[in-house]
């Protein structure tokens, strides 16, 4: 099995367990007698673990890449086992935290491995294939847990639906051999790689900052749209029931899945800059539609958000071009901190600001993405 396929298998199996957790949350609340604040803490522990684990995972991947990848399914297995005990709240919280930590190891390690391999060759298609595999895993987890009988209980259903994680556990030695620790990187020229438009190397750091801003903006939009705006605006302003809201969320995800591989293919051939400019503009318009529009723009905005998020992985290819191999894993960890912090802030800001403030916030996020798209289209920083 080649390296890319092995990484895709790892992230698929990893996200099956993650996708299986969400639909079980109401059953967990009833069975465990948890208050709303406890449910919020339990759900948020996953993102918190990702945020605090990004930089350590990046530092570890830079020195022990194979070990980082091999330990991810072990940590995930421990987290699923703790949740499967249906024990006290503190045990469930630790299990959920371990799920987030395992996902961080898999994502930071996997992305580092993809970006370090075949350096100098286009990476957008490989990155989007990796993301595609993770999203398929989430869908598989949702379908698996939804098909199991409720009489098995939430914990039994979670354990069975998460069974694919045993595959990368068994393949741990293969991961270590394919991605050895402290693998020697090819020598890097003294000068930094040129920017995407061939401008002088001095623009490299500006381009890196622009990619950090774009990644955070995309994360703000995704979290606000999918975790707050579509569910709550759909119910409160447009009278949608659970099925209607689910269809809109599914629409965004299906469009994203359908566009992921074509967008990666196009970025490798037409260049990342014009594709990034386009997806930033589309995502900005989608954010405005979902956050500020009447029902028709609201529904169209959901589809546009899915299309824009097909470029989620493209900033990482730019970071690879602007970063020496020895510092790539560390920079990847820093980038993920910004993205995961934005994932926290999106729904938190919408919930805290109220309807008027949420409209202003949505407008600013959309304007920021459109501005980033225009800047990229004009040649970026420098």
Which residues of the chain register pLDDT less than 70?
Answer: 1, 22-23, 26, 36-37, 39-40, 44, 117-125, 182-204, 227, 241-243, 245-246, 329, 379-382
Q: Which residue has the tokens 């605006």?
A: 233
Cα angle at 111 between 109 and 112, to 5 degrees? 65
pLDDT score, position 12? 93
The three-point CA angle 68-45-97 to 5° equals 40
What pLDDT is attached to residue 357? Answer: 85
Predicted pLDDT at 98: 94
Identify whether the C-beta of residue 368 lies closer than 8 Å to the C-beta of residue 284: yes
pLDDT digits (tens, 9 = 90+) for 209-235: 888 999 999 988 987 887 678 777 877
Q: Are the beta carbons of 216 and 339 closer than 8 angstroms?
A: yes
Q: Which helix (H) or strand (E) holds 302?
A: helix 295-308
Per residue in 272-304, pLDDT (tens digit) is 888 999 999 999 999 999 988 889 999 999 899
Q: Phi first, then psi: what are they for 2, rounded to 5°?
A: -75, 170
Mean confidence (pLDDT) of the chain: 80
Residue-wise pLDDT tens digits, 322-349: 777 777 767 877 887 888 888 777 777 7
Residue 217: per-residue pLDDT: 92
Domains 3-178 and 203-377 share a fold: yes
Residue partners of 164: CB distance under 8 A and separation at least 6:
12, 13, 16, 17, 137, 140
Neighbours of 113 (CB within 10 A): 26
The structure tokens listed for 108 are 């930071």
Phi/psi of residue 185, each to 5°?
-90, 150
pLDDT computed for residue 107 by the predictor: 86
Domain segments of the chain as ranges: 3-178, 203-377
CATH value of 203-377 in 3.60.20.10, 1.20.1250.20, 3.40.50.970, 3.65.10.10: 1.20.1250.20
pLDDT for residue 117: 64
In CATH terms, 3-178 corresponds, of 1.20.1250.20, 1.20.1730.10, 1.10.1040.10, 1.10.3720.10, to 1.20.1250.20
Backbone φ and ψ for 240, nearest 5 degrees, come out as -80, 140
Write down the pLDDT at residue 296: 92
**How high is the pLDDT of residue 245?**
67
């Amino acid at each position: 099995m080649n390296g890319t396929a092995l990484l895709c298998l790892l992230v698929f199996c990893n996200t099956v367990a993650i996708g299986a957790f969400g639909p079980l949350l109401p059953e967990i609340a009833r069975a465990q007698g948890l208050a709303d604040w406890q449910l919020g803490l339990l759900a948020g522990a996953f993102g918190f673990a990702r945020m605090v684990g990004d930089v350590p995972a990046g530092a570890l991947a830079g020195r022990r890449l194979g070990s980082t990848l091999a330990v991810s399914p072990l940590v995930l297995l421990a987290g699923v086992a703790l949740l499967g005990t249906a024990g006290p709240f503190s045990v469930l919280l630790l299990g959920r935290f371990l799920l987030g930590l395992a996902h961080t190891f898999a994502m930071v390690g996997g992305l580092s491995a993809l970006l370090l391999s075949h350096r100098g060759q286009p990476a957008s298609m490989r990155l989007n294939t990796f993301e595609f595999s993770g999203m398929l895993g989430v869908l598989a987890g949702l379908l698996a847990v939804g098909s199991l009988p409720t009489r098995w209980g939430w914990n039994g259903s979670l354990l069975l639906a998460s069974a694919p994680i045993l595959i990368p556990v068994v393949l741990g030695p293969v991961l270590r051999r394919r991605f050895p620790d402290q693998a020697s990187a090819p020598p890097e020229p003294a000068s930094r790689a040129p920017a995407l438009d061939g401008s002088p190397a001095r623009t490299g750091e500006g381009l890196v900052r622009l990619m950090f801003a774009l990644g955070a903006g995309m994360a703000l939009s995704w979290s606000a749209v999918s975790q707050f705006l579509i569910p709550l605006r759909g119910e409160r302003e447009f009278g949608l029931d659970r099925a209607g809201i689910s269809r809109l969320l599914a629409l965004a995800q299906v469009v994203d899945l359908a566009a992921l591989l074509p967008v990666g293919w196009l970025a490798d051939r037409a260049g990342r800059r014009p594709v990034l400019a386009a997806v930033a503009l589309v995502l900005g318009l989608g954010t405005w539609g979902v956050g500020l529009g009447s029902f028709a723009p609201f529904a169209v905005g959901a589809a546009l958000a899915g299309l824009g998020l097909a470029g989620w992985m493209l900033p990482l290819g730019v970071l690879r071009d602007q970063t020496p191999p020895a510092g790539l894993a560390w920079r990847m960890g820093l980038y993920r901190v910004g993205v995961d912090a934005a994932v926290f802030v999106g729904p938190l800001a919408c919930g805290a600001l109220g309807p008027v403030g949420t409209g202003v916030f949505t407008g600013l996020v959309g304007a920021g993405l459109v501005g980033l798209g225009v800047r990229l289209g004009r040649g970026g920083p420098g």
